[in-house]
Chains A and B, each alone.
Chain A
Amino acid sequence: MVWTIAFRNLIKNGRRSIMTMLAIAIGGFAALLFGGFVTSIWFGVQTSMIQDQGNLQVYRKGFLQFGAADPEAYTIVDWRRAAETIGAIETIRDDIVVITPKLDLGGIAGNVAASSNKTFFGTGVVAADIDRMRQWDGWRIDQPGLASGLSDNRGNGVVVGVGMARMLGICGPLEIAECTDPPRLTRGTVTGEADTVAPLVEGDGDLSALRSGGPADSLPRLNLLAATTTGLPNIARVVVETAQSQAQRAVDNAFVMMHFDQAGELLYGDSRQATALLIQIRSPDRAEFVKAEISKTLAAAGLDLEVYHFTEVDPTFSRIFGMFSFLFAVVSIVLAIVIVFTIVNTVSMSVIERVREIGTIRALGFRKGFVTRLFLAESALIGLFGAVLALIGAIAAATLINAMGVQWTPPSNAAPLTVQLMVLQNPALTLAVVAALAAVAVVAALVPTRRAARLNIVESLHHA
């Protein structure tokens, strides 16, 4: 009977009920869509980063704190042994998709053909492993990453940042969009430098070939100069297979990705050492467990290594997600306040119109609580209908927007992601929004409802 009365009064005040419901529905709609966007950031940005860096990373102890100043002292001395030790852990054998080493290095890259050069920050990776990692889809959001661009059969192939390619003047042959060579500059000093490093190339005395480039397959070539661990300069002659944009301009302008063996050759003359081991695991939910197991095993094996979750190494994700969560919270609170005022207004009007009815009901022997329930039921119904409307609208809008294939580039990414608003894919958040709408509706109604319940019976009965 309480719900019957509540429902029929909603119908009776159709216009007002619909306006209030719409206010709730629009608020809920906005919260659900924004929530869907934040959810897509949660899954999309993490997926990108896991495709790039793996879920877990193993470093020499202290590397994250001090490694940048003295990389030599903080490399993993025998990465194969570390990888084998981790690969042999029974409890996580099925979790691990990829364990792969990477080696960071820096130096100077020179394009002899254009007599230009520039510092670079490079990383050596196992191309096949990286390409496998880029296919990771632990949350099934179907967002495959870009291939590394390194070919397995060209040991001296490298991939550079687009900014790097531009500055070195190798855009022409790469045929990459947004990559154009600079206007010709005077480059006396550059030529001189190229002359000084050229004779150092081991086993390659053919200076004319080096200068002219002149590769059979027309891909641009670079000389990479790095200092070996013993402090001697070392040079590698590499082929630029392609250029790929990097998320940050500073990185893009200096980025060189090469084969792991090539990097090892440049730095150490062998490939036993690595800066880090990247570990990709099948299910992100298992990351903490896998991390703990690896940590335990490394310690037991007496290895001077530490394992981190990728968010600990690179705070980008936490920052992006934190920012959008904060925005979501602010928007939700503002919406909730608007909804509260709307509900308070609607219920107050409803109470005022029905003062005599309230007096009658009380005279008939109902306690205050019954009056409260009567009006709360009305508000709860408005909240519920509004929430359902919001949900239907949000699902429809999300489906539409997702189908439109709108692109956006999160701060962590070089390549844009397709906006996928995940409304239903985050049932916890969606339920929370719907529940919050109903709860806000009921809580907001408490104030005018209490007033209704406390009305003096005699005075209410005489109310016009």
Chain B
Amino acid sequence: MNYATPISELEHPAPPPAAAKAETASFRSISKQYRLDAVTVDALNDVTCALPLGETTFVVGPSGSGKTTFLNILGLIDRPSAGRLVLLGEDVTDLTDSEAADFRSRHIGFIFQSFNLIPVLSLRENVELPLLRHMRSSRARRQRASHYLDAVGLADMMERRPGETSGGQRQRAAIARALVTEPDIVIADEPTANLDTGTSSEIVALLDRMKSTFNTSVVICTHNIDLIQPESALIQITDGRLVNGGPN
């Protein structure tokens, strides 16, 4: 199933060349230090790796190992202290704040641990929100949002506010919100940490399915080994260092 008019064709007439998309993301000697008073914490230490295109990649590691930092840098909401980041063939290390926002808007979708839906908006309006930067017609936005909510199985509760839905339903809506702009990379930091086991598996399965349906790459970070699907790529981090998943 494919949505009638892909956003990439509508709003960005020149998609990146296919050759450059051979890998979704490439970390080149990326380090990230946090300074806490006198102490410097190495959240990431010289990480070099490539994320494959169109796949689900799991980022795993113990708590405090640097998984979130890894995803934040990948999602262009945090900056590396050293090293370079290439996304979709473009070196994005030195983008300005606005350029980074534009890049996120076009290419990246986020799914959060606590869903982070806007409480005053209905599920449908939440999904419409990121489309503000892409589509002028509110009718078109509404249609598109409904379509994606339908795809995640929320067709009959679109007009509910997040507070009127369960955690699993909220995370489904958040998945629709992340996918609605047809991003190249969907980043999910512990998307199931606030959900029960059954719902967690459903959400991961849904993400995996959506990856295929909408032809995107999904990067999921989790400390729950049970969720990892056997055929997925795996990046394992310990103490800010890559254990496997490096250049191979």
Q: Is the pairing of A and B real?
A: yes
The tally of residues in A whose CB lies under 8 Å from a CB in B reads 21
Tell me, rounded to whole Å, the shortest Cβ–Cβ distance linking B35 to chain A: 13
From 165 to 188 in chain B, residues with beta carbon under 8 angstroms from any chain A beta carbon are 177, 181
From 444 to 462 in chain A, residues with beta carbon under 8 angstroms from any chain B beta carbon are 457-458, 461
| Bound form: Cα–Cα A152–B120 in Å | 78
**Which of B75, B105, B108, B125 makes the CB contact (< 8 A) with A366?**
B105
Which residues of the partner chain B approach A8 to less than 8 Å between Cβ atoms? Answer: 120-121
- Given known A-B contacts A458-B72, A458-B78, A364 and B120 have beta carbons under 8 A apart: no
- Given known A-B contacts A364-B110, A366-B105, A366-B133, A357 and B116 have beta carbons under 8 A apart: yes
- Given known A-B contacts A365-B104, A365-B108, A1 and B132 have beta carbons under 8 A apart: yes
From 349 to 404 in chain A, residues with beta carbon under 8 angstroms from any chain B beta carbon are 356-357, 359-368
Query: Total A-B residue pairs with C-beta atoms closer than 8 Å?
Result: 67
| Bound form: Cα–Cα A356–B121 in Å | 15
Do the beta carbons of B130 and A365 come within 8 Å of each other? yes
Would you call the interface of chain A mostly helix, strand, loop, or mixed?
Answer: helix
Which residues of the partner chain A approach B128 to less than 8 Å between Cβ atoms? Answer: 1
Does any Cβ of B come within 8 Å of A4's Cβ?
yes
What residue in chain A is nearest B120 (Cβ atoms)? A8
B interface residue count range (under 10 / 10 to 19 / 20 to 34 / 35 or more): 20 to 34
Do the beta carbons of A360 and B102 come within 8 Å of each other? no
**Which of B97, B108, B112, B114 makes the CB contact (< 8 A) with A368?**
B97
Which residues of the partner chain B approach A367 to less than 8 Å between Cβ atoms? Answer: 97-98, 101-102
From 94 to 118 in chain B, residues with beta carbon under 8 angstroms from any chain A beta carbon are 97-98, 101-106, 108, 110, 112, 114, 116, 118
Tell me, rounded to whole Å, the shortest Cβ–Cβ distance linking B148 to chain A: 14
Do the beta carbons of B104 and A364 come within 8 Å of each other? yes
Does any Cβ of A come within 8 Å of B193's Cβ?
no
Does any Cβ of A come within 8 Å of B233's Cβ?
no
| Bound form: Cα–Cα A9–B133 in Å | 22
- Given known A-B contacts A360-B112, A363-B110, A368-B97, A457 and B125 have beta carbons under 8 A apart: no
What residue in chain A is nearest B183 (Cβ atoms)? A365
- Which of A's residues lie within 8 Å of B, judged by CB? 1, 4-5, 8-9, 12, 356-357, 359-368, 457-458, 461
8 extra interface residue pairs, beta carbon distance < 8 Å, beyond A363-B110, A364-B105: A4-B121, A5-B118, A9-B120, A363-B75, A365-B101, A365-B130, A368-B97, A458-B72
17 A–B pairs (Cβ distance < 8 Å), ordered by A: A1-B132, A5-B121, A8-B121, A12-B119, A12-B120, A357-B119, A364-B129, A365-B102, A365-B103, A365-B106, A366-B101, A366-B133, A367-B98, A368-B101, A458-B72, A458-B77, A461-B112
